[in-house]
Amino acid sequence: MTTSRYEFKNFTARLDGDKPDDATGHWIDAVSLGFHDRKPTDATKAVHIRRGAADGKTMTGAYDTRAPAEAMPGPVGTFVGYDKTLNVGGALLPAYLISAVTVRPTHRRNGLLRRMMTDGLAGAAEAGTPIAALTASEGTIYRRFGFGCAVNKKTMTVDTTPRFGMLVPAPGSVEIVDAGKLREIGPAVFDDYHRVQIGSVGRQGEYADIISGDLGENGEPDPAVRAAVHYDDAGVIDGYVSYKFAGWGQTPGTIDLIDLIALNPGAYRGLWEFLGSIDLVTRIKIPGALGDDLLAASLVDARTVNVTEDRDHLWLRILDTAACLEARDYDADGRLTFRVDDSLGYAAGTYLLEVAGGRGTVTKEPDDAPSDFKLDVADLSAIYLGAVSPLTLIDAGRITAASRDVATTLRAVFAPGGSVWCTTEF
């Protein structure tokens, strides 16, 4: 495994007039190839470049210096990193987001992914960013780099025939609005949501364009996108939904949910009450549903909710153990000494976590100090937000606890202060 024949370049997306420059255009083509997307036009590329400029993304390309003349131009490996925030329950923690990771199949097992990933993580750690995050197309790739799945998501369909109905009427009201209104309403509501929702990740600038229908899958506006907003009893907007009719070719009549953000359970129930009332539709598809069972618990017939997939979503990688553990809130006091193994070294060591009054203090201990439990950084990252139970990982052999009392304390200390969920795709 060698990277000696490859050249690695970091750059930002640029336009040459009304189209991407060659480096940017070829990089985008390489990402499209990796994810089996259609090759976008120059006009589509330009739209994405303009609307994503504020995110400050650094694009990495791995280039084959021995490529034959007939080879597809551009990088044979891609990677992008940029900075957002992660709600850890108590703080918005700076986070290094990783996306668009591809390696051309003809260049696998040459160390390209490892080189791009380790360089990206090294840069984030050097900048003082305490945690990295990604969403994975495959579930077996990223544990080797210290990532653990911290939040799952569900794909669901909801039957909105007459069986659908709320046990308790939702407060407030809902109004249909022009989808374009979500360009302003959406980011404002999401900012409030992001401040209170554990597991929420800051969104890319393009989200406002997607939920408003200004940016469809082909880079053009999508006039099929519709929107509605929820008002609380005081007339203040506290939620919205973006959706589209799947077309008359779908049987039964189906709505595809694009985005639903609610600042409280009442708004969530109210938006679903609205969705269930739409005429000529008896099914709603949700590609990434709330991880708990709030919707099912709210309905007269919980069987109208059908989970078709429950899979990993948000993967975290702790880079600074003390900074991460001291940032979040805790609902139970406790004192735990633990050993973290980290093949890249960033989070490795023995630590003492002392929690009192909802806040944690972390002290680095000698490496050979006795520990209450031992785990890999991937598993510490998995339990960090609280959605993954430490007891599950203990039973799976991924965490070694000195006693059952330690396991009980560990579960109590890391329990989340509310639901844990991430609505952001990246």
CATH entry 1.10.300.10 includes domain 6-129: no
Question: pLDDT digit string (tens) for 278-323?
Answer: 999 999 999 887 666 799 999 999 999 999 999 999 999 999 999 9
User: And the tokens for 10?
Assistant: 């970091």
Q: How far apart (Å, rounded) are the C-alpha atoms in residues 107 and 103?
A: 7
Q: Is the pLDDT of residue 88 over 90?
A: yes
Per the annotation, the verdict on 243 as an active-site residue is: no
Q: How far apart are CA 417 and CA 415, in angstroms?
A: 7
**Mean pLDDT of the region 53-64:** 96
Distance CA 55, CA 202 (A): 10
- Domain 161-281: CATH architecture, name and number where available: 3-Layer(aba) Sandwich (3.40)
Task: Enter the CATH code of domain 322-375+387-414.
Answer: 3.30.1050.10
Lowest mean pLDDT among 198-202, 289-293, 328-332, 376-380: 289-293
Strand partners, 174: 230
Q: What is the pLDDT of residue 293?
A: 78
Q: What is the DSSP letter of 170?
A: P
Binding-site residue ranges for acetyl-CoA: 101-103, 109-114, 137-138
User: Is the pLDDT at 412 greater than 80, yes or no?
Assistant: yes
Residues placed in the known binding site: 101-103, 109-114, 137-138
* Domains of the chain by residue range: 6-129, 161-281, 322-375+387-414
Indicate which residue of 82, 96, 142, 268 is catalytic: 142
Q: Are 178 and 223 in contact (CB under 8 A)?
A: no
Within 8 A by CB and 6+ apart from 325, the residues are 351, 353, 360, 362, 384
Which pLDDT band holds residue 266 (cuts at 50, 70, 90)?
very high
Among all chains, which residue has been given the structure tokens 């589209």? 244
193 given a catalytic annotation: no
pTM across the whole model: 0.96
> Edge to edge, what strands does the sheet with 305-318 contain?
6-11, 58-64, 77-87, 92-103, 131-134, 305-318, 148-159, 283-289, 254-262, 237-245, 225-231, 173-177
Domain 161-281 matches domain 322-375+387-414 at the CATH topology level: no
Backbone angles phi, psi at 207, to 5 degrees: -55, -40
Catalytic residue among 190, 268, 384, 426: 426
Using an 8 Å Cβ cutoff, are 215 and 51 in contact? yes
